[in-house]
């Protein structure tokens, strides 16, 4: 298919080069791009263009004064913003500094100052400078310019070039829509734009010592994006969002900071799991088709953060995908896990699903903390309380003397009115929903007795209050240890134990579920290596595959996922070897290997001492040590060592070379010193 032409018209040479470079990086595979100054453009260029993009309305007016355009010529005026990649440069300027903002025209210079302030850079004193401004103030030592370096006065010692202003995401999408370009390109552009925000977040966090209003800066960037964005933590707590996010979902506009996104969606019957790297399609409140996906965000604090993206879809973009209405989507079973095959886990899910239809307390034991939480969430999401909050409480994070006020709440005097105002505790937050206590065995006895009283009375007296307030919640507790052993050792209240353990669900360890190990490995291989190969033999050597299939996986499915993500990063086209395991796994692999025979140890030591050595030379070295082995026997030993990833046998007389695993295996034997020099 012939490419169509986009003509970019600018006011000056800097913008001409910069805009062409920026848009070419996006559209070079899809469009022919040309650029010209308004004063230089020709009728030939105009007539051959399918669309004209002006950098400003002033440039459009300038061209219309020069020539008459056909009524069929499609024109777009660019909405421009800062290139977020360069915003961090501004943060190098000391707080409170006077800064010249240098550009080519008075109007555009003031426009940049206005945009800088909108982006939250309120800690500087910006002064306009453009041709004809006159002498500079010698006390001003900093200048900012959007690509107009040649206009900066020579007396400014510190000049920061933040690059030309670039088309914002709405302009990019307008170009994609006009030329009917693939929807996947729009997704890629949006993701890149999001990554710029993420980088700004990282850099801004590094500048906290300079008192930069990080949140304001990031919020302003998000508000400039026409697609819906919401930043959450690992518990789905909303950290910030832009207005488009709620608008696209059809949720009434308000400021949900501090709210739980999952609960907010459930309130409007838009329930989904919000899993990273997954895409969801459903109808919003107005019955319009919406696409939602989640991206995990790396950040300096090492806490998990997620960026949730939503946009409206057309029928062409969805390519016939079935859409779930809010009601149908909410009823989708949260117990359906396609990776689970083991009968014991399937039986566990069936029992959990039945229990979810009741209000009985549930005790979950075994597995990892993340697995216990996931099961508790599934019970909640399948219950009649699914539209109410799911609140997590970890006793280990609360001081014993603050436990009662944390759970029951407390009264606080309002300094403005002098009235006593109730500060809701965890029990009120979970009202009509589910309270999940993770690590219930860590509760001190006083906490246990307090919780027992609440469960018996179904009401609570907030700290500082005098009257009971009813509470209504479903209780799910979890423990990584045998709770009844705590009862027998008199460290856990027996009456509370039998109150909690109306129904018990025990998650079997992954090591006892070989079918699930294979299923998870298949799932993550297909997810992370589908673009490379579907054949395991092309990804893993036999020895590595054997270890993965027999390893006990104490970290359960999360450990498999982490390892396969690591493998996908280091994979270079040839099968991964046992020695490429992370150190903690490599040590276990060596412990489980068969000890070297005397002949294997001798030959492996020779290869270590003489890299790239061949069979005949190995035989010669063995003879020198008084050991006679036939060439056929040596070949068999070498093949066995290679099969276990202890050596690599190079082709075309490349000889043999010991691997890291082979060196570790030698060190682990009792023969620490080589039998010869």
Q: Does this model's pTM top 0.75?
A: no
Q: Provide the percentage of residues in the chain whose pLDDT is more than 90.
A: 10
Regarding whether 216 and 120 lie in a shared domain, the answer is yes
pLDDT at 234: 80
Lowest-confidence region among 1-5, 417-421, 529-533, 603-607: 529-533
Hey, which residues does 309 pair with through a beta bridge? 229, 293
Regarding whether 268 and 208 lie in a shared domain, the answer is no
CATH number at residue 14: 3.40.50.360
Regarding whether 357 and 309 lie in a shared domain, the answer is no
pLDDT at 192 over 80: no
User: Comparing C-alpha atoms, which of 428, 452, 429 is closest to residue 440?
Assistant: 452
DSSP string, 51-71: EEEESSHHHHHHHHHH-PPPT
Regarding whether 96 and 47 lie in a shared domain, the answer is no
Regarding whether 167 and 316 lie in a shared domain, the answer is no
pLDDT at 572 over 60: yes
Spell out a b/e string for 452-490, using b for 16 or more CB atoms within 10 Å of the CB, else e.
bebeeeeebbbbeeeeeeebebbbbbbbbeebeebbeee
pLDDT 10s digits, 386-443: 888 888 888 887 776 777 777 887 777 777 777 767 777 788 888 889 999 998 998 8
Regarding whether 479 and 520 lie in a shared domain, the answer is no
Regarding whether 261 and 375 lie in a shared domain, the answer is no
CATH number at residue 461: 3.40.50.300
The verdict on residue 231 lying in a domain is no
pLDDT 10s digits, 13-61: 878 888 888 888 888 888 999 999 999 999 889 988 999 999 888 889 8
Regarding whether 376 and 389 lie in a shared domain, the answer is yes
Mean pLDDT of 537-551: 83
pLDDT at 206 over 70: no
pLDDT at 244 over 90: no
For residue 83 the two structure tokens come to: 């290139």
Looking at the structure of the chain, the number of domains it has is 6
Regarding whether 516 and 624 lie in a shared domain, the answer is no
Choose the final residue of a domain: 557, 583, 609.
583
Regarding whether 73 and 62 lie in a shared domain, the answer is yes
Choose the final residue of a domain: 14, 44, 78.
78
Lowest-confidence region among 205-209, 371-375, 658-662: 205-209
The verdict on residue 348 lying in a domain is yes
Tell me the residue range of the domain where 518 lies.
511-583
CB count in 10 Å sphere of residue 432:
13
pLDDT at 412: 75
pLDDT at 481: 85
Q: What are phi and psi of 142, to 5 degrees?
A: -130, 145
Residue 159 DSSP symbol: E
Q: What is the mean pLDDT of the chain?
A: 79
Regarding whether 523 and 496 lie in a shared domain, the answer is no
The verdict on residue 246 lying in a domain is no
Regarding whether 426 and 490 lie in a shared domain, the answer is yes
Choose the final residue of a domain: 288, 309, 332.
332
Hey, which residues does 365 pair with through a beta bridge? 479, 506
Mean pLDDT of 86-107: 81
Q: In this structure, which long-range contacts are made by residues 402-409, counting pairs with CB atoms below 8 Å and at least 24 apart in sequence?
A: 403/444, 403/446, 403/447, 403/450, 404/450, 404/463, 405/462, 405/463, 407/450, 407/451, 407/454, 407/460, 408/454, 408/460, 408/461, 408/462, 408/463, 409/460, 409/462, 409/463
pLDDT band at residue 100 using 50, 70 and 90 as cut-offs: very high
Q: Provide the percentage of residues in the chain whose pLDDT is more than 70.
A: 83
The residue with greater pLDDT, 671 or 182, is 182
The verdict on residue 674 lying in a domain is no
């Amino acid at each position: 298919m012939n490419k169509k032409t986009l003509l970019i018209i600018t006011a000056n040479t800097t913008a001409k080069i910069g805009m062409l470079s920026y848009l070419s990086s996006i559209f070079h595979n899809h469009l022919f791009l040309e650029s010209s100054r308004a004063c230089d453009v020709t009728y030939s260029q105009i007539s051959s263009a399918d669309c004209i993009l002006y950098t400003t309305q002033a440039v459009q007016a300038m061209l219309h004064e020069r020539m008459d355009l056909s009524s069929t010529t499609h024109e777009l005026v660019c909405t421009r913003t800062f290139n977020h990649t360069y915003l961090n440069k501004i943060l190098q300027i000391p707080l409170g500094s006077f800064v010249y903002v240098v550009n080519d025209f008075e109007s555009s210079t003031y426009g940049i100052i206005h945009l800088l302030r909108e982006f939250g850079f309120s800690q500087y004193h910006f002064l306009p400078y453009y041709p004809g401004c006159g002498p500079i103030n010698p006390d001003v030592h900093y200048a900012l310019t959007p690509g107009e370096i040649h206009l900066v006065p020579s007396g400014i010692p510190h000049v920061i070039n933040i690059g030309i202003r670039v088309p914002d995401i709405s302009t990019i999408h307008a170009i994609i829509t006009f030329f009917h370009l693939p929807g996947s390109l729009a997704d890629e552009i949006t993701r890149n734009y999001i990554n710029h925000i993420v980088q700004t977040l990282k850099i801004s966090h590094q500048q906290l010592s300079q008192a930069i209003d990080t949140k304001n800066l990031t919020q302003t960037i998000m508000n400039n994006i026409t697609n819906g964005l919401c930043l959450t933590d690992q518990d789905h707590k909303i950290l910030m969002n832009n207005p488009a996010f709620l608008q696209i979902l059809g949720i009434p506009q308000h400021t949900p900071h501090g709210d739980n996104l999952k609960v907010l969606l459930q309130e409007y019957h838009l329930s989904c799991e919000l899993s990273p790297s997954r895409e969801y399609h459903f109808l919003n409140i107005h019955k319009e088709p919406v696409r939602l996906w989640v991206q995990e965000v790396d950040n300096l604090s090492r806490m998990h953060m997620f960026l949730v993206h939503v946009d409206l879809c057309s029928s062409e973009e969805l390519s016939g995908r079935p859409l779930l209405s809010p009601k149908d989507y909410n009823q989708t079973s949260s117990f359906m896990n396609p990776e689970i095959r083991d009968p014991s886990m399937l039986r566990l899910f069936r029992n959990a699903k039945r229990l979810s239809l009741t209000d009985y307390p549930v005790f979950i034991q075994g597995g990892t903390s993340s697995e216990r939480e996931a099961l508790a969430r599934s019970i909640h999401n399948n219950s009649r309380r699914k539209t109410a909050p799911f609140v997590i409480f970890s006793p280990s994070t609360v001081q014993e003397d603050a436990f009662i006020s944390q759970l029951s709440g407390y009264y606080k005097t309002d300094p403005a009115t002098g009235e006593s105002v109730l500060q809701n505790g965890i029990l009120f937050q979970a009202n009509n929903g589910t309270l999940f206590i993770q690590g219930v065995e860590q509760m001190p006895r006083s906490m246990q007795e307090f919780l027992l009283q609440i469960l018996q009375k179904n009401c609570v007296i907030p700290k500082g209050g005098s009257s009971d307030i009813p509470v209504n919640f479903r209780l799910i507790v979890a423990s990584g240890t045998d709770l009844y052993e705590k009862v027998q050792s008199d460290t856990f209240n027996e009456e509370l134990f039998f109150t909690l353990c109306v129904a018990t669900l025990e998650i079997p360890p992954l090591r006892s579920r070989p079918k699930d190990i294979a299923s998870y490995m298949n799932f993550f291989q297909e997810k992370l290596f589908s673009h490379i190969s579907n054949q395991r033999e092309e990804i893993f050597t036999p020895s590595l595959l054997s270890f993965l299939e027999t390893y006990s996986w104490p970290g359960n499915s999360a450990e498999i996922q982490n390892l396969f993500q690591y493998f996908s990063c280091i994979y270079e086209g040839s099968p991964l070897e046992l020695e490429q395991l992370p150190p903690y796994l490599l040590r276990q692999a060596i412990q489980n290997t068969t000890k070297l025979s005397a002949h294997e140890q001798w030959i492996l030591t020779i290869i270590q001492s003489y890299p790239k050595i061949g069979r005949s030379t190995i035989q010669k070295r063995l003879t020198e040590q008084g050991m006679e082995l036939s060439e056929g026997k040596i070949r068999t030993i070498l093949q066995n060592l290679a099969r276990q990833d202890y050596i690599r046998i190079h082709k075309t007389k490349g000889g043999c070379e010991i691997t890291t695993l082979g060196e570790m295996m030698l060190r682990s034997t009792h023969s620490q010193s080589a039998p010869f020099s």
